[in-house]
Amino acid sequence: MSRVLVVNSGSSSLKYAVVESDSGSMIADGIVERIGDDGGVPDHAAALQVVFDELADDMAGLVAVGHRVVHGGPDLYRPALVDDALIAKLEALSPLAPLHNPPALLGIEVARKALPDLPHVAVFDTAFFHDLPPAAATYAIDRDIAAQWNIRRYGFHGTSHQFVSERAAEFLGVPLDSLRQIVLHLGNGASASAIAGGRPVDTSMGLTPMEGLVMGTRSGDIDPGIITYLSRTAEMSVEDIESMLNRRSGMLGLGGEIDFRVLHQRIESGDPAAQLAYEVYIHRLRKYIGAYLAVLGSADVITFTAGVGENDAAVRRDALSGMSALGVELDEELNAERSKGARRISAESSSTTVLVVPTDEELAIARACVSVVTELG
């Protein structure tokens, strides 16, 4: 009675999963890529048909469809039943997230047409950070302009930061509200958060998912002067600059590669660009860890999650090396081990516990969906 289809619709890909939200088991998952490309499917409706064909019998007994929506803007943060009014609100938000929300809307629209009898629920990636303290959420820019254009730090990957911080508390057998945590979500997109007592205190992404850590293809923090300089002097258009910062920066822009497995191989073979990319990545990560240790006073737990965080022992080691004076010490052997579940990787002597906790955004979205559907009766 809890089977949910979770859809994460991007501009050229559609990720999907069927999740049994009670047991937490993943029945099926996959991705349809190259939507609108030569050799791919023509559009999102066709992509969804591919999903239905793949899922076949796994579609039986669905109770809801959950949609990941990147940006909820200032007002949308609780998981919400999709109706025409919500679609209109999401359309109005598109300028805030032009790269992410329009494809999500497209996904919602084709899925609603294809599965009209099921409730569809939107779950927002910004939701968890809705209650960031004003000091962390506010940019120090002209306050009237900020208010007029809804400019604030929204934060993203919220579903993951919330899920992982709750799992960390569960794993440690400690009440969530007693913990000061730093969560490092390091995937192709990457973000850090500081969480006290289950509430977000700061996070590295801002108005858009471009701020903060160095990512697969995004720059993370840059001097905003770079944008005006490129616009004025290099005569790059706003679209060119945005595309460069989102798609051709980060590890790809510096090291020519986003996959850390390949990047490490290139470093091994003496590639200086890959080496510098890695050093910039680690340097930025360490700055955020230090900043959040200061914001929180100290951390009871630091947790690594997502593709790089869960799998790359070298990144975890280099992110935390030399921090014993700050109370953070890894156990090299535990760090080098691999396992599927949550695990501790800190030394016994470390006053901060360091964990690896696999994220499961699909499960979190499925659970949010079921709670909305249950409330509806």
Residues that bind ligand AMP (CB under 6 A): 187-188, 216, 258-261, 306-308, 311-312
Nearer to ligand AMP, 64 or 302 (CB): 302
Binding residues for substrate: 68
CA distance 294 to 303: 17
Taking the complex as a whole, how short is the minimal distance between the CB of residue 1 and ligand AMP, in angstroms?
30
User: How long, in residues, is the chain?
Assistant: 377
Residue 150: HSE in the Cβ half-sphere, 13 Å Cα cutoff: 15
Q: Using N-to-C axis directions, what is the helix angle for 44-55 and 101-114, rounded to 10°?
A: 50
Nearer to ligand AMP, 300 or 361 (CB): 361
DSSP conformation letters of 235-282:
---HHHHHHHHHHSSHHHHHHS---HHHHHHHHHTT-HHHHHHHHHHH
Nearest C-alpha neighbor of 4 from the set 362, 375, 376: 362
Binding residues: 8, 15, 68, 185-189, 259-261, 307-311, 361
Taking the complex as a whole, how short is the minimal distance between the CB of residue 259 and ligand AMP, in angstroms?
4
174: left (phi over 0), alpha (psi -120 to 50) or beta: beta
Nearest C-alpha neighbor of 331 from the set 339, 320, 340, 342: 320
The residue at minimum Cβ distance from ligand AMP is 307
Nearer to ligand AMP, 73 or 216 (CB): 216
Taking the complex as a whole, how short is the minimal distance between the CB of residue 261 and ligand AMP, in angstroms?
5
Q: How far is CA 329 from the centre of its chain?
A: 26
Contact 330, 229 (CB under 8 A): no
Taking the complex as a whole, how short is the minimal distance between the CB of residue 48 and ligand AMP, in angstroms?
21
- Amino acid present at 241: I
199: left (phi over 0), alpha (psi -120 to 50) or beta: beta
Taking the complex as a whole, how short is the minimal distance between the CB of residue 312 and ligand AMP, in angstroms?
4
> 180-186 and 190-196 as β-strands: parallel, antiparallel, unpaired?
antiparallel
β-bridge mates for residue 211, sequence order: none
CA distance 216 to 205: 14
Nearer to ligand AMP, 73 or 209 (CB): 209
Q: Tell me 302's DSSP state.
A: E
Nearer to ligand AMP, 295 or 308 (CB): 308
Query: b/e for 256-285, b at 16 or more Cβ within 10 A?
Result: ebbebeebbebbeeebeebbebbebbbebb
Taking the complex as a whole, how short is the minimal distance between the CB of residue 290 and ligand AMP, in angstroms?
23
In this structure, what token pair is assigned to residue 262?
């390949």
Nearer to ligand AMP, 154 or 260 (CB): 260
Binding residues for ATP: 15, 185-189, 259-261, 307-311
CA distance 66 to 69: 9
Binding residues for Mg(2+): 8, 361
Positions marked catalytic: 125
